[in-house]
Amino acid sequence: MLKQVKASAGSGKTYELTARFLSLLAGSQEEDSIPVCKSSQAKGYCWPEIMAVTFTNKAAAEMKERVVRSLKNRALDIKGDGLGSDWTPGAAKRQLTPILQRYNRLNIRTIDSLLNLLVRIFALELGLSPEFELLFDPATLFEPNFNKFLSQCEEGDEYRKKLMDDAVKSLVIKENKQGFWLAEQMRFRLIRILEHVLECPGERLTDQEEIAGLLQGYFDKYMKAVSAMSSLIKSESIAASSHLLKYLDHAATLDFMGEPKESTMVTKESFVDCVNKKSKCDINSLHEKIYDDLKKAHVLYRDQAMILRGAYALAPFVRIVEEIRDDIIEYQSLHGMLLSSSLPRVASYVLQSGEALPDAFCRMGSRLHHLLVDEFQDTSLEQWHAMIPLAVECLSKNGSLFYVGDVKQAIYSWRGGRSELFDEIADEPELATLTEFTPGHLDYNWRSLEKVIEFNNSFFDALADYDVATDLAEILYPNGPEDQQTELAEKIASSFEGASQKLPPNQPRSGGYVRLQKLFAETSSEIEAETKRNFDLLIDELCPRREFKDICVLVRSNGHAQLVCDWLVEKEIPVITENSLQLDRHPVVRQIVSLLKFLDYPQDDLAFLEFICGKEVFQRISAISNDEIVSWLGSRDKGSLYRRFSEKFPDFWKYHISPFLRKSGLMTPYDLASEMVARFKIIESNPQDELYIRRFLEVVHLAEEKRGTSLAAFLDFWELSSAEEKVPLPESVNAVRIMTIHKSKGLEFPVIIVPFHNWAVSGSDTTFTDIEVDGKVMLTPMSSALGETYYENRTRMFTEQLNLLYVAWTRAGDELYGFLPSEKVKSVTPALSAIETILDGRFNDLGLLEHGTAPIRTEPSIDESLQENKPTQEITENLIAPDYSSLQSPELMAWLPRLRVYRHNLEDYSYDARMRGELAHKAMENLILTGDDSGDCMRSTEAAFAQFPAIADERETIIPEVAAMTSWAISVEDVRAAIERGRPEVAIMDSKGETHRADLLLLEENRALVVEYKTGSPSPENEKQVKRYLRLLKEMYGNQKELRGLLVYLDGQFTREVLI
């Protein structure tokens, strides 16, 4: 069975999918009765052979929960929501038991996780690690390899330097880009080109001289046509229009690659229309031919110049991307990474082989008999190609493909979604021969109240009217080709055909209210100010009668989300936004991370400063006011910030910071973060932030499993991935939601506010396409010169904007509010144009449109629950400074050495020369000089010794021995200077991008000193190692600094100088 179900907003598609899944479960056999890896096909199927594919993780989790809950309700003979009502309690219990026992085999997953699974199954055949890391941002691959490219430019690589110079010239001179952020513009463009090149591999023309040569021919023909026309007018004394003469004068002075002037003089049907009255009778067929040649040459050169000028400007960037592409592929392989955008293509490639699919099912441990697909309108062509073998597998065994969707909600074309597939599936050759196609439709809206449904029906039904769609197409394509206007009108009308929904029978759905308000403003700043004023009035009206969590504000961009967030915060109303859920934006998390950065590298003044300026942690526990910190910073001496701080605030330093600094080498990042949370009582003091804090600890723990337990490794991970880490959306929190329309897909709220409708279609400067000119393929920006390709892209953008409007307005259950600029905006705004076209005449003199009865206004009242959600006030105001004289600096994780004895590998672990070297090395790493040399040496030695619990019995012998080594080392003048003013474990990168780390590096104005700690007998290898560091420094600084190396033999207590 091949069944399509059209499901408009709020029609219950999740219910329908779940019902279908439960129905298939009822017909399944016991799991062990069906062979998997045998070639013969048994009759029937078992429950893991039913697969439901959703678009988001949230949808997958919701469907899983509904399947299990429905079976549980029937097993307990509870009515529930009616799902699975045909199941008997006994049958439901028998089915539920194996599902709960093997819940991971309940095959409800996102399409990305399905493709991910298929690729991992064949990872080794593809040359990938089965544990490859999936990347969602191409910048993760781009940044390290582009930085390597820049390093090679700085080191004198002439070829790469020329590539970079050409790109800069192209950006600044050819495109006349301006501003302070040209570097960011370059990176953004390179990343976009990288995405395109990885998605569409192939050979492209990138030689600028050759591209210019292609254009030269079109330019010469154009100039010849201009010259011929000018000569004709002059030689025959034709009284040409002054406009034509101006056009010809401008064209005659046009530079190569210049843009020809647009003029109506080259769009007339006849040359007669371009001359004055006295010459009209003199025009003959030869004149008309010369004029016709000019028109053709103008159009041809104009279009080709636009295409090739764009290709010429992009060529250096494409060459840079191609230059680093091999490095990126190698980097992916070395680090076990794969871009998520590559999954569909790789999975499709894997399944092309006839033997691959049975092999995949065998490796997965189950076959596939029934396939259910949600949100099919957002499926990309590549994803569908990967799923076709799965669909064929199902239908060839008399199974089914059941897919639901709604082309009116297709809003992910920018990610490759192709809504046309929704209706094209019925004619898919590989499927049509296997089964009959059955269409279906869900008629009822279970989400919204009557008046909201009525309003949306009347508006979106109007878009299905071909005449209305034609009017809108003419507005959006005012000067576009007539065939493109027709195509756009047909696409709009067909998309919204059947948009009208019915009220569910026997359901009390009366009520509902819609209000749209025009804003009488002209400039963008005036529109924003007027939007804020009306938004504030609306919020004041809603809050007394609605809980905050009932209200959702939908916006098109993150910029608008931040703007609305600021407005609500100003009114002291709690909000939840996408950004507010990001861990790296939360102040408590940021302060914990800044302290971790300081512990990793105590010379990081900025990290230490961020911590001591944080009011949520530092200022609360220290009772040191922000003014006192600022005053101290203004008057502090030179030198490391933390040293000055420890001198100014010794009690706080000793009790709160020093214990972490002493143990940072021993403790893992999770240990450190957990101790901070407990020691500083962060959760107790910030209970409203517990969700963020515990999620952060979870992320630290997961990072340790992936990247290891070093603090530096975690901080590297956080630098790359922190923006992706978020807390789950807390459903119970009483706060106004602000989200983009894309994120609202599948959600519903009692009250929806859409404050901005002037969503402009994005410009073409960030969209690229491959074009073939004279047999050469090149990359060029999207432009009208591309003809059909351009208009297809614009049509897709226009219809998607209308779909966004549909998604936004249909999220409302009870009330829908929106604000609209009264004056036409300059940019192309399909949604606003549709509103003006359809609702023109329905607004009153005050610019107000209402549908339904306005809810009764109520006076504001003080609610304790609202008070709880008010933003936290300044927390340093009534703090009492702790009495440190009665406190003792606690030993962090005193249990750890004992526990680590049991964690340690069970092997013969005796104290030998190698371990002595490691221990002495660790002691020098931990060494921080505070003025108490003896105490400092003992503390660093004890901290190092704690990392070797297997030799705890030899403490009395070992600690004095190692402490003596450290004490001798700091008596060496150069070593002491390097410890006080140098940097430990400094990374130095060579020309190949490989990293080398010196134990200690002191960089001063006129000299550089490398210190390397050693134990045992001197070795030539030791000297070679230091010389390697010195040569790298030589490449960096040339003759600017005196370069010296110092080998410090700790156990022998002597040094050796190394020079190059």
pLDDT per residue as tens digits for the range 446-481: 999 999 999 999 999 999 999 999 999 999 998 878
Q: Specify the pLDDT at position 763.
A: 53
pLDDT per residue as tens digits for the range 118-147: 888 888 877 787 788 888 888 888 888 998
Cross-strand pairs, 739 = 554
Q: Rounded to an integer, what distance in angstroms lies between the CA atom of residue 185 and that of residue 806?
A: 34
Q: Rounded to an integer, what distance in angstroms lies between the CA atom of residue 242 and that of residue 960?
A: 101
Whether pLDDT at 731 is above 60: yes
Say which residue, 1008 or 906, is predicted with more confidence: 1008
Q: Rounded to an integer, what distance in angstroms lies between the CA atom of residue 1011 and that of residue 1055?
A: 10
What the block records as the tokens of 778 is 């090149």
Q: Looking at residues 292-304, what average pLDDT do you find?
A: 93
Q: Strand locations in 149-246, DSSP E?
A: none
What the block records as the tokens of 609 is 């400063």
Residue linked to tokens 């390179």: 190
Q: Specify the pLDDT at position 268.
A: 92
Q: What is the DSSP secondary structure assignment for residue 478, as one 8-state letter?
A: T
Q: Rounded to an integer, what distance in angstroms lies between the CA atom of residue 782 and that of residue 766?
A: 8
pLDDT per residue as tens digits for the range 183-194: 888 888 899 898
Please give the share of the chain, as a percent, with pLDDT higher than 70.
90
Instruction: Say which range, 349-353, 590-594, 802-806, has the weakest mean pLDDT.
Output: 349-353
Report CA dihedral (658, 659, 663, 665) to the nearest 10 degrees.
-30
Q: Specify the pLDDT at position 32.
A: 57
Identity of residue 780: T
949 falls in which pLDDT band (50, 70, 90)?
low
Whether pLDDT at 357 is above 70: no
- In degrees rounded to 5, what are phi and psi of residue 857? -75, 145
At a CB cut-off of 8 Å and minimum separation 6, what does 375 contact? Answer: 54, 55, 59, 404, 405, 409, 745
Q: How many Cβ atoms are within 10 Å of 116's Cβ, its own excluded?
A: 19
In a 3-state reduction of DSSP, which class is residue 912?
coil
56 falls in which pLDDT band (50, 70, 90)?
confident
pLDDT per residue as tens digits for the range 166-182: 888 888 877 777 666 67
Whether pLDDT at 725 is above 60: yes
pLDDT per residue as tens digits for the range 372-430: 999 999 998 888 988 888 898 889 888 999 999 999 999 988 778 888 999 988 888 88
Q: Rounded to an integer, what distance in angstroms lies between the CA atom of residue 558 and that of residue 509?
A: 34
Q: Specify the pLDDT at position 896.
A: 47
Pairing of strands 1007-1014, 575-577: unpaired
CB 311 within 8 A of CB 214: no
Pairing of strands 1054-1058, 1042-1049: antiparallel
For residue 451, give the H/E element and its range.
Answer: helix 450-463
Q: Rounded to an integer, what distance in angstroms lies between the CA atom of residue 978 and that of residue 1004?
A: 10
Instruction: Say which range, 160-169, 493-502, 619-628, has the weakest mean pLDDT.
Output: 619-628
What is the reported pTM?
A: 0.73
Q: Specify the pLDDT at position 597.
A: 92
Q: Rounded to an integer, what distance in angstroms lies between the CA atom of residue 417 and that of residue 629?
A: 53
List, as residue ranges, the binding site for ATP.
7-14
Q: Rounded to an integer, what distance in angstroms lies between the CA atom of residue 915 and that of residue 400?
A: 65
Whether pLDDT at 1057 is above 90: yes
Q: What is the DSSP string of 55-83?
A: SSHHHHHHHHHHHHHHHHHHHTT--TTST
Task: Report the chain's terminal Cα–Cα distance, integer Å.
Answer: 78
Q: Rounded to an integer, what distance in angstroms lies between the CA atom of residue 567 and that of residue 586?
A: 19
Q: Specify the pLDDT at position 866.
A: 43
What the block records as the tokens of 216 is 């030269």
Q: Specify the pLDDT at position 674.
A: 92
pLDDT per residue as tens digits for the range 216-271: 999 999 999 999 999 999 999 999 999 999 999 999 999 888 889 889 999 999 99
Q: Specify the pLDDT at position 427.
A: 87
Instruction: Say which range, 120-124, 295-299, 697-701, 946-950, has the weakest mean pLDDT.
Output: 946-950
Let me know the angle formed at the C-alpha of 130 by 128 and 133, rounded to the nearest 5 degrees. 80
pLDDT per residue as tens digits for the range 620-653: 888 788 888 888 887 766 778 888 888 888 888 8
Q: Rounded to an integer, what distance in angstroms lies between the CA atom of residue 885 and that of residue 987?
A: 42
Q: Specify the pLDDT at position 83.
A: 82
885 falls in which pLDDT band (50, 70, 90)?
low
Whether pLDDT at 986 is above 80: no
The phi-psi region of residue 176 (left if phi > 0; otherwise alpha if psi is between -120 and 50; otherwise beta) is: left
Say which residue, 723 or 25, is predicted with more confidence: 25
Residue linked to tokens 């949808």: 59
Average pLDDT, the chain: 85
Identity of residue 586: H
Instruction: Say which range, 94-108, 176-190, 839-853, has the weakest mean pLDDT.
Output: 176-190
Q: Specify the pLDDT at position 1017.
A: 85
Q: Specify the pLDDT at position 894.
A: 54
Whether pLDDT at 40 is above 80: no
List, as residue ranges, the binding site.
7-14
Say which residue, 918 or 808, is predicted with more confidence: 808
For residue 130, give the H/E element and its range.
Answer: none
Q: How many Cβ atoms are within 10 Å of 104's Cβ, its own excluded?
A: 6
Q: Specify the pLDDT at position 508.
A: 84
Q: Rounded to an integer, what distance in angstroms lies between the CA atom of residue 384 and that of residue 421?
A: 9
Q: Looking at residues 914-939, what average pLDDT do you find?
A: 86
Q: Rounded to an integer, what distance in angstroms lies between the CA atom of residue 883 and that of residue 900?
A: 34
Q: Specify the pLDDT at position 495.
A: 93
Q: What is the DSSP string of 646-702?
A: HHHSHHHIIIIIHHHHHHTTTS-HHHHHHHHHHHTTHHHH-GGGHHHHHHHHHHHHH
Let me know the angle formed at the C-alpha of 1015 by 1010 and 1019, rounded to the nearest 5 degrees. 75
Whether pLDDT at 955 is above 90: no
Say which residue, 54 or 871, is predicted with more confidence: 54
